Amino acid sequence: MLDIKFIRENPDIVKKACQVKNFPDVVDDILKLDVRVRELKTITQTKTAEKNKISKEIPTSSDKAALIAKSKAISEEIANDMAELAEKEVVLNDLLHRVPQIPDASAPIGDDDSANVEIRRIGDIPKFDFTPRPQWELLDMNGWWMPEKIANICGTRVYALCGELAELDLAVQTYTIQKLIAKGFKYIECPSITKPQTIFNAGHFMGSDLAVMNDDVFMLTNTDRCLAGTSEIILNSLHADEILNENELPIKYTGFSQCFRKEAGAAGRDTRGIVRVHQFNKVEQYIFCKPEQSDEMHEFILNNMCELMEDFELPYRVIANSTGDMGFNKVKMNDVEAWFPSENSYRELGSCSSIGQFQARRINTRYRENATGEVKFVATLNCTGIALPRALVPIIENHQNADGSVNIPKKLQPLMGGRTKIGGKH
């Protein structure tokens, strides 16, 4: 969320953010409520001081009854004012949680992903001397999944990998985690079960009503828990209500977890294969840093993901996401898209996001400056390490052979027992 003082002093900037991010403009409502809330606080403080003064005068007064009556009347006024204040603060809090983060000046302006801008393109698109197979044909012919059985057992948009592809999936996860640890990240194996408030605190949803998450999040019936859609949710809250030492920053975490999403808005999309599923595994990068370190850290974690694309020998491109495509809580966002031969196009494998102090205000994570002793909110960033099984799709499609086998990228071969290919007739 944004600082109310910033909104007071920069209403036009906040209004513009609402406009370019396609969220309702509630700035005027906030400012009006803010005036009344501050007024009520002053009124109650003044009346409380008056009541306290009367209370001190009662013991020595010759007209105690009159003072007691006056004190009682003021108490009733204070109670009414406090009731209105509490009501107004609830509404104001909800409105403050409906204001989007201010996008960076470098972000392309646009309503949706059609306004995204390609920054760079790396790697050559493969040229096959045979008709390349889509992911589901490679999975079928090599016995790498069992879609009908799993659908009967578990329902749709659920998968199970088998044999060598399951091994490759584990190798990709392991390689990614090891690479990030070598770059200074602390590895955390995160739970997937969490509290709804923890998801809300990550700032992906508007308002203060947790029911807004019901279309996206699996709630666990008759409990106060739900399933997280990314380990970012857990990592974001690790330092809630803490004041960190400036020397600790930046703090770099890489989290691994199983992730769960309803994909309610994806009806009819990607119904074949393993691109869009309810449960998947993801390695995440997450950073707490000083605000002035944010741009440097953004490039650092984005570059880590790009290096992984190159390690997996995938043609890819980097996108600057438009204001209308970057979401509610982001300052700036870059998608990394790999080439999918079966679709003759690039598709997102992950994204890198700068959140500024938006999440830190929700979870109250701060740091103390060495020079001044001043306490400030940290900035946070997140970036995909790798998301599976989606990432397996461009790996097997780009590295496939005519017989249905798949060449293993060189850097993954040691984790695959030295094998150079899987599947096919080898």
Active-site residue, from 8, 225, 276, 347: 276
Buried b / exposed e over 27-40, threshold 16 CB at 10 Å, is beebeebbeebeeb
Residue 395 vs residues 165, 314, 386, 415: alpha-carbon distances, Å: 11, 7, 12, 15
77 is catalytic: no
Active-site residue, from 192, 237, 257, 351: 351
> Rounded to the nearest 5°, which phi and psi values hold at 375?
-100, 125
Active-site residue, from 261, 361, 362, 366: 261
390 is catalytic: yes
Structural contact between residues 99 and 69, judged by C-beta atoms closer than 8 angstroms: no
**CA–CA distance, 212 with 204 (Å, rounded to integer):** 10
272 is catalytic: no
118 is catalytic: no
User: From the centroid of its chain, how far is CA 402?
Assistant: 40
351 is catalytic: yes
**Token pair in block for residue 240:** 């809630």
One-letter amino acid identity for 229? G
Instruction: Name 423's bridge partners.
Output: none
One-letter amino acid identity for 206? M
Dmax (CA) for the chain in angstroms is 107
Query: Which residues touch 239 (CB under 8 Å, ≥6 apart)?
Result: 251, 288, 363, 365, 378
**Token pair in block for residue 82:** 């406090």
**Residues noted as catalytic:** 261, 276, 348, 351, 390
